[in-house]
Amino acid sequence: MGYMERHFDLRLDPRKLVPGAKSVISLAYNYHTPPKQRDPKAPKLSTYAYGRDYHKVLKKRLRPLMAFITEQFGQVELRAFVDSAPVLEKAWAQRAGIGWRGKHTNVIRQGTGSWFFLCELITDLELAPDAPATDHCGTCRRCIDACPTDAITPYGVDGSRCISHLTIELKDSIPQEFAGKLAGWAFGCDICQQVCPWNRFAEPHNEPEFAPRPEVMELGAEEWHGMTEVVFDRLFEGSAVKRTKYAGLMRNLRFLRL
């Protein structure tokens, strides 16, 4: 995706984000949510969007850790990042030993799977590094074969074909070549994670703010398609779904009926 090319120098050198940076502390936060939407015919949301926007939640959860580091080491340069700045979070997670970058490009952890968010603390503290994670995808290609838009190649994703990009990041009309291929997804997509064998080990999260919103989970197919902007604002206040805005969601819903 084009935006990845912007500020590429910052992605490569954390010292451009935090002066004197010597260490990147990479963290993972579970969001695995087993409950599903009630109506199997309803347009689908990626499970990370069931509750409160993860950007807000993770930043709040990082504050006690940052306070602890300051208490232990005194005045240090320390900055938190939650998918909100040019940081190569997947590369840092792999180097920190959290997991390896799978064929679908999400980070996978043995015994845990891939249902987690990544975030980072960049600091001028010099910390002993952990051993990097090794790849355990083997010959598996379930994510590649399951992608309905053929967006995944081994260890790469064509952003212009990814359902998450098409339903969230894309500001223009969804290209007609994808008609009938969005598999019911109105915001994001979880297919490559749903089929990943490592996710059989995933445990449900225990973050109250990620709990699914009952009203959203109860929406039937026709309620989605007949949603007004007033209802959208009420149902998705503080949710990641607001990223696509009402007009974007309605565009996605209309496209699902083509």
The yes-or-no answer on residue 83 being catalytic is yes
Hey, which residues does 80 pair with through a beta bridge?
Answer: 121
Give me the pLDDT at residue 1, please: 47
pLDDT of residue 87: 86
pTM: 0.92
CA angle 14, 32, 153 (to 5 degrees): 65
Using CA atoms, how far apart are residues 149 and 124, in angstroms rounded to an integer? 43
Question: What does each of the 258 residues of the chain score in pLDDT, given as a tens digit?
Answer: 454 455 555 556 888 889 999 999 999 999 999 999 999 999 999 999 999 999 999 999 999 999 999 999 999 999 999 987 778 999 999 999 999 999 999 999 999 999 999 999 999 999 999 999 999 999 999 999 999 999 999 999 999 999 999 999 999 999 999 999 999 999 999 999 999 999 999 999 999 999 999 999 999 999 999 999 999 999 999 999 999 999 999 999 999 998
Euclidean distance between CA atoms 114 and 100, whole angstroms: 10
Radius of gyration of the chain (CA): 19
Q: What is the DSSP letter of 166?
A: I
Distance CA 28, CA 14 (A): 19
Q: How many CA atoms lie within 13 A of 59 on its CB side?
A: 10
Contacts of 55 (CB under 8 A, 6+ apart): 82, 83, 84, 240
* 137 contacts: CB under 8 Å, gap ≥ 6: 100, 102, 103, 108
How far apart are alpha carbons 202 and 54 in whole angstroms?
18
Sign of the CA dihedral running 187, 250, 148, 41: positive
Residue 239, classed as helix, strand or coil, is coil
Domain boundaries, the chain: 2-33+53-123, 142-256
Q: Give the whole-angstrom CA distance, residue 243 versus residue 133.
A: 32
Whole-number pLDDT of residue 3: 45
Which of 9, 13, 53, 83 is flagged as catalytic? 83
Tokens of 25: 């502390």
- Tokens 């939407």, located at residue: 37
Residue 17: predicted pLDDT: 87
Task: Give the type of residue at 47.
Answer: T
